[in-house]
Structure 1
Amino acid sequence: MASVKVRLWKERIAKGFMLLSGFLVTGSLFFIVGTILYKGLPYLSWEMVSQLPKGGFYIGKEGGILNAILGSLYLASAATILATIIGIPISIFLTVYLKQGSFLSRLSKLIYDILYGIPSIVYGAIGFSIMVYFGIRASLLGGIITITLLTIPIVVRTVDELLKTVPADLRHVTQSLGATRWEVAKVLLLFIKPGVFTAILLAFGRAIGDVAGVLLTSGFSDNLPKYIDEPAATLPLAIFFQLSSPIPEVQGRAYASALVLTIIILIIVLCTQYLAAKQKKHKM
């Protein structure tokens, strides 16, 4: 009887901790989003998202953040495309061409797990070193190089995990028909196609929201980059610079910029959820 009461108390305590954890996480989310809305919404306007910064924008005068919005889209899109082109073949090689469970396979996946967890500032330092070696100045190209290095492990590990969900029978049937490894890989990619788009969106979301990786590599400019070797502004850097200002109006614009970035991330999350649901339905 006593043991039953002890188990019941343990269950109640565990349930209490789970509810508390859920409340803290959810409350933190609402607090962050609420703060951004409260402080940023009054400063958000069509002029702000459709105009380039004018003289004195960072001391409270007219202008907008169009340079940062488009700069972020340019950088994140190019880096995600490159990471996808490089990352998906690596995932196929690790899953299809390497013998599963072998030392090389386990070592490769361990390395990408480590790369996945390395802070973005480290990638920024690596990207900066590459730029110095090749004589590349702080520019859109420098930011693309750094963010590509940052997002490759995301694509590799996400696609690798998706390939693990493919039924073994599908691979065996394909191989029994005399298909080559490349043909097997194409069948597997078709099976996880919605999931691959999810991986791409995850990489894009990480790319567009990163600040440490581009702090030393992309530079900053009030103009739109016409060429890839010109400095490019990004939303995270625009938020950072505006929050550093002592002028309340500029700080309010920083929260408005954060709201724009949050909306972009929200759209990416919704698309990811849709594709994940589609992938789950496809499996069934």
Structure 2
Amino acid sequence: MANISKRLQKEKIAKLLMQLSGILITGSLFLILGTILYKGLPHMTWEMISQTPKGGFYLGKSGGVLNAIIGSLYLAGLSTILATLIGIPIAIYLHVYVRQGTAISRFSKLLFDVLFGIPSIVYGAIAFSIMVFFGIRASLLGGVITITLLTIPIVVRTLDELLRTIPQDLKHVTASLGATRWESAKVMLKYIRPGLFTALLLAFGRAIGDVAGVMLTTGYSDNIPKYLDEPTATLPLAIFFQLSSPIPEVQGRAYASALILTFLILIIVLCTHFLSSKQKKHQT
């Protein structure tokens, strides 16, 4: 009886700790969102999302952050495309052409786990070194290089988990029909297609919200970039620079910029949940 009583007490304590953790995390989330809404909504105007910064914008005068919105979309979109073009062949190779359980398979997965956890500022330093070596100045291209390096591990690890969900029967059927490895890989990609879009959205969400990695590589401009070799603004950088201003009006615009970024991330999260549920239905 004493042992049962102790186990019940431990269960109650564990349940209480989990509830407190949930309340703390949920409360922190609502605090962040509430702060952004409270400080950002008064400064959220059509001018903010439809115009580029005008003269004196950082002194509290007219203008908006359209340059940062477009720059973020350019940067995240191009980086996600490149990371996908590089990450899909890597994931397919590790699952189709490399025998599972071998040393190279385990080492590759460990390597991408490590790359997945490296801070973005490290990728920024590596990309900056590459840019210096090739003579590339701070520009949209520099940011694309940085964010591509950052998002390749995300794409590879997400696809790795998706490929693990493929039933062995499907692999056996394709092999019994005399399909080549590449033909089997195409069948696998078709099977995980909804999940593939989820991986792309996750990479896009990470790319559009990063600031440390692009601080050294994209530069900053009040204009919308037309070419890859031009410096570009992003929403995270715009928030950082505006919050650094001592002018209350500019700081308020920083929270409005954060509200725009939060809205974009929310759209990505909702799309990710929708595609994840579609993937689960597809597997059943």
TM-score (norm 2): 0.99
Q: Distance in 2 between matches of 1:59 and 1:127?
A: 33
Q: CA RMSD in A?
A: 0.5
Q: Distance in 1 between matches of 2:219 and 2:230?
A: 8
1:72 is aligned to 2:76? no
- Residue 9 of structure 2 is matched in structure 1 by 9
Counterpart-to-counterpart distance in 1, 2:77 and 2:172: 36
2: CA distance, partners of 1:109 / 1:143: 26
Kindly provide the CA deviation profile for residues 121-148 of structure 1, in whole angstroms up to 9, marking residues without a partner as x.
0000001000000000000000001100
Matches of residues 3-152 of structure 1 in structure 2 within 5 Å?
3-152=3-152
**Residue deviations 1:64-96, cap 9 Å, x none?**
000000000001000000000000110000011
- For the residues of structure 2 that align with 1:281 and 1:213, how far apart are their CA atoms? 37
Counterpart in the other structure of 1:187: 187
Q: Which residue of 1 aligns with 2:226?
A: 226
The CA deviation at 1:7 is 1.1
Are 2:209 and 1:209 equivalent residues in the alignment? yes
- The aligned residue for residue 173 of structure 1 is 173
Once the two structures are superposed, residues 137-191 of structure 1 have per-residue CA deviations (whole angstroms, 9 ceiling, x without a partner) of: 0000000011000000000000011000101111011111100000110111111
Question: 1:5: Cα distance to partner?
Answer: 1.0
Instruction: Show structure 1 runs of 5+ residues with no match.
Output: none
**How far off its partner does 1:213 sit?**
0.7
Q: Tell me what 1:248 maps to.
A: 248
> How big is the shift at 1:2?
1.1
SS of structure 2 residue aligned to 1:184: helix
Secondary structure at the counterpart of residue 224 of structure 1: coil
Residue identity in the other structure for 1:283 = Q
Alignment partner, residue 198 of structure 2: 198
Q: SS of 1:144's equivalent?
A: helix
- Number of aligned residues: 284
Deviates more, 1:214-223 or 1:3-12: 3-12
Q: Deviations over 1:168-218 (max 9, x none)?
A: 111011111100000110111111100000000000000000001100000
Q: Residues of 2 paired with 1:113 and 1:172: CA distance? A: 29
- In the alignment, residue 172 of structure 2 is paired with which amino acid? H
In the alignment, the residues of structure 1 paired with residue 124 and residue 13 of structure 2 have an alpha-carbon distance, to the nearest angstrom, of 44
How many Å separate the matches in 2 of 1:2 and 1:75? 62
2-side partners of 1:78 and 1:62: how far apart? 30
SS of residue paired to 2:137: coil
Distance 2:8 2:102 in 1: 45
- Find the residue that maps to 1:186 and give its secondary structure: helix
Distance 1:59 1:95 in 2: 55
Cα distance in structure 2, aligned partners of 1:136 and 1:264:
30
Give the whole-Å Cα distance in 2 for the aligned partners of 1:4 and 1:96.
50
Please report how far the alpha carbon of residue 226 of structure 1 lies from its aligned counterpart in structure 2 after TM superposition: 1.4
1:257 aligns with 257
Distance in 1 between residues matched to 2:3 and 2:147, nearest whole Å: 55
Cα deviation per residue 1:2-32 (whole Å; 9 max; x = unaligned)? 1111111111001000100000011010000
Percent identity over paired residues: 75
- TM-score norm. by structure 1 comes to 0.99
**Deviation, structure 1 residue 282:** 0.4
